[in-house]
Amino acid sequence: MTETIRYEVDADGIALLTIDLPDASMNVFNAQLIKDLDTCVDKVLADDAVKGAVITSGKPAFIAGADLNMLGAQAGSKQTPEQAFESAFGLNKLFRKLETGDKNRKILAKEGTKPFAAAVNGLALGGGFELVLACHYRVIADDPKMQLGFPEVQVGLLPGAGGTQRLPRIVGIQAAAGAVTTGKPYNAQIALGLGIANELAPAADVVDRAKAWVKKTSSAIAPWDKKGFKYPGGAGAMHPASVQTFVGANAMAQKQTQHNYPAVQAILSCFFEGGVVDFDTAIRIESKYFMKLLADPVAGNMIRSLFINKQAVEKGSLRPAGIERKKVKRLGMLGAGLMGAGVAYVSAKVGMDVVLLDRDAASAEKGKDYSRNLVKKGVERGKVSKEKGDALLERITTTSDYADLKDCDLIIEAVFEAEDIKKSVTEATEAVIGKDIVFASNTSTLPITGLAKNFTRPHQFIGIHFFSPVDKMPLVEIIMGEKTDDATLALALDYVSQIKKTPIVVNDSRGFYTSRCFGTYVQEGYSMVQEGVKPALIENAGKMAGMPVGPLAVGDEVALDLSYKVGMATRKALGDKYVVSPADGFVEKMVVDLERFGRKNGKGNYVYPTDGGRKYLWPGLGDHFPVADDQPTLDEVKTRFMVRQAVEAARCFEEGVLIDASSGDIGAIFGWGFAPFTGGPFSFIDTMGVAEFVAEADRLAQAYGARFTPPQMLRDMAEKGECFYAKGDTRGRIAKAA
Amino acid sequence: MTEAYIFDAVRTPRGKGRKDGSLHEITPIQLATQQLEAIRDRTGIDTSFVDDVALGCVAPVGEQGSDIARVAAINAGYAETTAGFQVNRFCASGLEAVNIAAAKVMTGEADMAIGGGVESMSRVPMGSDGGAWPMDPSVAFHSYFVPQGISADLIATIYGHSRDDVDAYAVESQRRAKASWDANRFSKSIVPVKDVIGMNVLDHDEFMRPETSMQSLGALKPSFVDMGNFGFDNVAIQKYPEIEKINHVHHAGNSSGIVDGAAAVLVGSKEMGEKFGLTPRARIRSMASVGSEPTIMLTGPSFAAEKALKRAGMSKSDIDVWELNEAFASVVLRFMEALDIDHSDINVNGGAIAMGHPLGATGAMILGTVLDELERSGKSTALATLCIGAGMGTATIIERV
């Protein structure tokens, strides 16, 4: 009957609303669906022949949430508070109409309204889950893959169509807070246990079961519209359990968000403030907090980088056009160290055969042990069946014989980072593999163009840079050598897609994009120690800026001696062009004089107690790098970390290492953990304002050194009033060709 | 401006703030009523000249709700013209109530007024009144709320008070309190609490543990570790990012005790004293309240003391005896460091670590205690102060006349 909803009334007078967006694989709440649902609800309510309604989906999933492109476009837009409220309250109003029949409170309490039941055949997230909760009765498909949840917080928003009000009124505030502030979905069994589902049924039967309920139900009313409704577990400021919940949740949320993610506080505020008022007032409060978040740059930046652009690159937006998609069936993995072992695992996991080669059989087997351990853990935790796990392991063949690589259709090299070793391994491999097989290097430090010289087909040589641990880190940085061709890039992207990782494509440069920029974070921390900034302030400021760990802690993980070696190699390679950093002196003293290498030798910036106690900052730092009397403010330290990284990212952009702003943002967040709430360094610069950023970077350069000097490109952009993401442009500014 | 004089000061003994505490069976309104009765009966004043009664109460809900001060005045049989109001400045409520009473006399609003306080912590538990500060997410986030125990440990961390430092302070508080009781130093102020048949239910501070030693305290686990791990340590560090971790040193043995009690102080003009033949015991020299950083919360007393000294035109050396509520040991240690005060000049008769801290009443109690001490020792000036929730301090300077 409408564009997005089929409307059929059966012989019992039950309307079946089947949501089925045209030309889409998933139902999402967009403007059309909202309009159509409004029309259908009105029709159900107005038609005396219709007794009640069942809402279901014509697709495998119920509704996957709101159209984030639509929300992304709204984010940060300038509206008056009245306009903002009107637009935010629309869906709340519609769901409330469905729930109450638009009757006033007294009449509703007396006579109820026409029953609406949800027949949830597949996952219902965000606005989809909110629609389910607004229905009087909920039949959920008993499918192990069922997900019911509110992922909004992961893009800086909150469920703004009654989700923050109906869920706690069903499951209690504490349980609801856990779900809504993390975005973690419920499965069908838990939904039944918590009373979210009234019944579970096979997916094929959900509509019939929902209809059966409507048939026997003359009128319905939500529990919170009944007189004397009480929150499970209590609510508000006077209930002791609720007080404990909020006092605890407030602390925990501040610990987890470091005050960087306003959505978490807004969600808790909706629970708190909505918990002491009637439902109609509560959803108005919710809509106001929703709009507050949508107007905050955090939501817009998170939606763009963490969702829209991440999905775009995963769906192949970086892939050159006109090249046939290929599937890697047999991967040749050179080197069974930590990285090689991880790559073998993630590849075998998606069904690829893997030849795992190392200098002797024992080393190769040791690399396979990595997969054996992960499979064992997975089986123990019930995440993977024994059969699937065994099959995965069977796909990994270990060897020390290069001849075994001959049938591979992609080679990835992850041997020791030394030019001579790389050379001999590359040559030995090329001798046995097919004449059109692509060779990829997982180097993180050596320029690809240089390594390509070891291969007679440099156009088929490429960098595929993984992050450790490979099975956990989502990003893969693909590096184009000077001569790498499009077909090679396409194959690399096809492979990354096969292993379900998020790719970015960059051009060749020392440290490429991610390692180069990430290094500036650690080095800035080292510079500060050298200057006499208190180490605890450095670490806390890093975390409070939104980085996952402090620079000194991460420096220990990377290992100071490795930083020292890479630094020496870079110095040698660049000669006169090498720019000395204040961090160099710190690293040299720690490694050469003090033999503090990091976690690996149990002593670095931190002390690692042998009794398993928690690590703590090495008190000796203060002896060797005396703490200054004047300490910088927290904001100054945070700003240094953020601006330093962003300046380096902007240089990569100017130099053509990056191809566009969105790759830079995605690579930063998923590669080295750049503060996700900012949306990445380019979103960060935009949010600050390019001109303001340039001024701040200039100030820092004056105070701390030329490493902060912004590239000319930023000055030009500031001059012209340009930014990285023009209104409506999600991919962002395109860099000049390298 | 009229001078305000203290004519009398009384307090209940402090009962353990638990079910097995001697005052658990006594209602808070009774605790307050008996103090007002004592003031009247000891001084022989005509209560129609008492213009107002201010009582501090930190959890003014349930049976402590509905303006307990006015109701206590009615209940004590005061003239119906005596008004009453409840004051909440958290832990300094009792002192603030005295300050307000004094201010009313000074400005001529009142000829006589009573300031005091009441808290039955065994019957109306701490925190019963809720509040936006810890609970409302928008407020808790904005203010970096942490519970006081975390703040006390934060002070110890920042100023380097070790577990031994705070425990040693607590042992000394117990020793002084015992010595003072043994020497009958509190007898002037103590009004035993009676039950409905007129029987004394408590005539001494029953919370004390005079056998406390470094060894016995050493066996106690720090109280705020779990709370800190839950997230509050992190919140405190976000406010004080130069700290790597919080050193949790406080426990039940070096923090103030949870007790029941009430106190009252009669303040009036010189003329009122003459009218009723009362000798002024002390003059209120100055009063001050101040806000300070709310997350560390408990460093306000030194700022309040400095402000009160400045307003009185006095300097630190003009104060003979100091009294600072022993909310937590680190609070007193920090105060002594900040103002360079010798331990022998402060809390000379022990404090709340030994005898307990009935929240709304303590301020009025310690003012009476320090006045008794001035008279006993023949000294002249004293400053009483308390640390306060949400980062405040209140101080009062008195001088014998």
Q: How far is A517 from chain B (nearest CA, A)?
A: 25
The three-state secondary structure class of A363 is helix
Q: For A4, phi and psi rounded to 5 degrees?
A: -115, -10
Chain B residues touching residue A539 (CB < 8 angstroms)? 244
Q: A219: exposed, middle or buried (C-beta count within 10 Å: 0-12, 13-18, 19+)?
A: middle
Nearest to A237 among B130, B144, B231 (CB): B130
* Residue B210: per-residue pLDDT: 96
Q: Do B137 and A272 touch (CB under 8 A)?
A: yes
Q: Cβ contact (<8 Å) for A634 and B140?
A: no
Q: Which residue is closest to A250 within chain B, CA to CA? A: B137
Of B136, B237, B244, the CB nearest to A617: B244
Sequence-distant (≥ 6) Cβ neighbours of residue B103 within 8 angstroms? B4, B109, B287
Pick from A309, A303, A269: nearest CA to A173: A269
The answer to whether A668 and A689 are in contact (CB under 8 A) is no
Q: Which residues of B touch A537 (CB under 8 A)?
A: 241-242
Can you tell me the mean pLDDT for A66-89? Answer: 83
pLDDT digits (tens, 9 = 90+) for A148-175: 999 999 999 999 999 999 999 999 999 9
Best of A242, A250, A288 to substitute, by most chain B Cβ atoms within 10 angstroms, is A250
Which chain A residue lies closest to B243 (C-alpha atoms)?
A536
Q: Name the amino acid, one letter, at A268.
A: L
Residue of chain B nearest A246, judged by CA positions: B135
Q: Residue A695: what pLDDT?
A: 98
CA A549 to chain centre: 17
Name the band, by pLDDT with cuts 50, 70 and 90, for residue A737: low
Question: Using one digit for the tens of pLDDT, what is the confidence trace for B286-298?
Answer: 999 999 999 999 9
Residues of A in contact with B237 (CB under 8 A): 540
Give the domain A5-295 fold: 2-enoyl-CoA Hydratase; Chain A, domain 1 (3.90.226)
Least confident of A378-382, A610-614, B328-332: A610-614
Average pLDDT over residues A719-729: 94
Mean pLDDT (chain B) is 98
Strand partners, B50: B112
Please determine, looking at this structure, whether the domain spanning A515-720 carries the CATH number 1.10.1040.50: yes
Residue A380's pLDDT is what? 95
Q: What is the DSSP string of A434-462?
A: -TT-EEEE--SSS-HHHHHTTSS-GGGEE
Task: For chains A and B, count residue pairs whose Cβ atoms are closer than 8 Å.
Answer: 90
Do B231 and A237 count as a contact with CB atoms less than 8 A apart?
no
Residues recorded for chain A? 738
Confidence check: pLDDT of A20 > 90: yes
The pLDDT confidence band at residue A68, using thresholds 50, 70 and 90, is: confident
pLDDT of B87-124, one tens digit each?
A: 999 999 999 999 999 999 999 999 999 999 999 999 99
The residue written with tokens 């002196």 in the block is A585
Active site residues of A: 130, 152
Give the integer Cα–Cα distance in Å for A352 and A342: 14
Question: Distance between CA atoms of A242 and A233, rounded to whole angstroms?
Answer: 7
CB contact under 8 A, B230 and A248: yes
Mean pLDDT value across residues A360-372 = 96
Distance CA B103, CA B3 (A): 9
pLDDT on residue A570:
85
* Residue range A273-289, pLDDT digits in tens: 999 999 999 999 999 99
What per-residue string of b and e applies to A455-492 under the rule 16 or more CB within 10 Å gives b?
Answer: bebbbbbbbbbbbeebbebebbbbbbbebbbebbbbbb
**Inter-residue contact B181 to B332 (CB < 8 Å):** no
Residue of B57, B91, B248, B251 marked active site: B91
The matching CATH number, chosen from 3.40.50.10800, 3.90.1150.10, 3.40.50.720, 1.10.1740.10, for A330-508 is: 3.40.50.720
pLDDT at A95 > cutoff 60: yes
DSSP collapsed to 3 states, chain B: CCCCEEEEEEECCCEECCCCCCCCCCCHHHHHHHHHHHHHHHHCCCHHHEEEEEEECCCCCHHHCCCHHHHHHHHCCCCCCCEEEEECECECHHHHHHHHHHHHHHHCCCCEEEEEEEEECCCCCCCCCCCHHHHCHHHHHHHCCCCHHHHHHHHHHHHCCCHHHHHHHHHHHHHHHHHHHHCCCCCCCECCEECCCCCEEECCCCCCCCCCCHHHHHCCCCCCHHHHHHHHHHHHHHHCCCCCCCCCCCCHHHECCCEEEEEEEEEECHHHHHHHCCCCCEEEEEEEEEECCCCCCCCHHHHHHHHHHHHHCCCHHHCCEEEECCCEHHHHHHHHHHHCCCHHHECCCCCHHHHCCCCCCHHHHHHHHHHHHHHHHCCCEEEEEEEECCCEEEEEEEEEC
Contact A254 B127 (CB under 8 A): no
pLDDT top residue among A418 and A127 = A127
B5-11 vs B282-291, strand pairing mode:
antiparallel
Cα angle A262, A288, A301; round to 5: 40
> Among B135, B146, B232, whose Cβ lies nearest the Cβ of A237?
B135
Beta-bridge partners for A219:
none
ipTM comes to: 0.95
Joined tokens for residue B173: 């508080």
- Asked if residue A261 lies in contact with residue A250, where contact means CB atoms within 8 angstroms, the answer is no
Confidence category of residue A88, pLDDT binned at 50, 70, 90:
confident
**Nearest residue in chain B measured CA to CA from A247:** B135
From the list B127, B131, B231, the residue facing A254 with the nearest CB is B231
Closest chain B residue to the Cα of A618, Cα to Cα: B244
Look at A258 and B238 and tell me if their CB atoms are within 8 Å. yes
Q: Identify whether the C-beta of residue B244 lies closer than 8 Å to the C-beta of residue A539.
A: yes
- Under an 8 Å CB criterion, which residues of B touch A? 127, 130-132, 134-138, 140-141, 144-146, 230-232, 234-235, 237-238, 241-245
> What 3-state class would DSSP assign to A478?
strand
Is the pLDDT assigned to residue A76 strictly greater than 80? no
Q: Quick one: pLDDT band at residue A83, thresholds 50, 70, 90?
A: confident
3-state secondary structure A382-439: CCCCHHHHHHHHHCEEEECCHHHHCCCCEEEECCCCCHHHHHHHHHHHHCCCCCCCEE
Rounded to a whole number of angstroms, the distance from the CA of B146 to the nearest CA of chain A is: 8
Residue A97 to chain B, least CA–CA distance (Å):
30
Q: Which residues of B touch A237 (CB under 8 A)?
A: 130-132, 135-136
Kindly determine whether residue A250 and residue B135, on different chains, have CB atoms separated by under 8 Å. Answer: yes
Share of chain A above pLDDT 90, in %: 89
Cα angle vertex A469, ends A468, A474, to 5°?
85
Active site residue B57: no
Closest in B127, B137, B241 to A634, CB measured: B241
Cβ-Cβ contacts under 8 Å, B228 against chain A: none
Give residue B155's pLDDT. 98
List, for residues A286-337, the tens digit of each pLDDT value: 999 999 999 999 999 999 999 999 999 999 999 999 999 999 999 999 999 9
Of A248, A265, A537, the CB nearest to B242: A537
Among A242, A252, A255, the strongest candidate for a mutation testing the B interface, having the largest count of B CBs within 10 A, is A255
Q: Give, for A506, the enclosing helix (H) or strand (E).
A: strand A502-507
What pLDDT score does A80 carry? 85
> From CA B386, how far away is CA B401, in angstroms rounded?
24
More confident site: A165 or B127: A165
Does the pLDDT of residue A177 top 60, yes or no? yes
Check residue A738 and give its pLDDT: 45
Supply the DSSP symbol for A657.
Answer: S
pLDDT tens across B31-53, in order?
999 999 999 999 999 999 999 99
Residues A637 and A528 sit within 8 Å (Cβ to Cβ): yes
Residue A466's pLDDT band, with cuts at 50, 70 and 90, is: very high
Q: How many residues does chain B have?
A: 401
Q: Which residues of B touch A259 (CB under 8 A)?
A: 141, 238
pLDDT at A143 over 60: yes
Percent of chain A at pLDDT above 70?
A: 100
Tell me how close the Cα of B130 comes to any Cα of chain A, in angstroms. Answer: 6
- How are beta strands B83-87 and B200-202 bridged, if at all? unpaired
**Chain B residues within an 8 Å CB radius of A250:** 134-135, 137, 140-141, 145
- Dihedral angle computed from the Cα positions of residues B198, B204, B205 and B210, in that order, rounded to the nearest 10 degrees: -150
Cα–Cα distance measured from residue A270 to residue A165, given in angstroms and rounded to the nearest whole number: 7
* pLDDT value of position A445: 82
As given in the structure block, the two tokens for residue B310 are 């400045």
Instruction: Give the residue on B whose Cα is nearest the Cα of A268.
Output: B137
Collapsing DSSP to helix, strand or coil, A331 comes out as strand
Indicate if the pLDDT at residue A469 is higher than 70. yes
Q: Do B137 and A253 touch (CB under 8 A)?
A: yes
Domain boundaries, chain A: 5-295, 330-508, 515-720
Q: Residue B232: which of A251, A273, A544 has the nearest Cβ?
A: A251
Instruction: Report pLDDT digits (tens) over A425-460.
Output: 999 999 999 999 999 999 988 899 999 999 999 999
d(CA A184, CA A175): 11
Of B130, B134, B234, the CB nearest to A254: B234
Rounded Cα distance between A518 and A683, Å, is 17
Buried (b) or exposed (e) across A410-447, using 16+ Cβ within 10 A? bbbbbbebeeeebeebbeebbebbeeebbbbbbbbbbb
What is the DSSP secondary-structure string of A106-153? Answer: HHHHHH-B--EEEEE-S-EETHHHHHHHHSSEEEEE--TT--EE-GGG
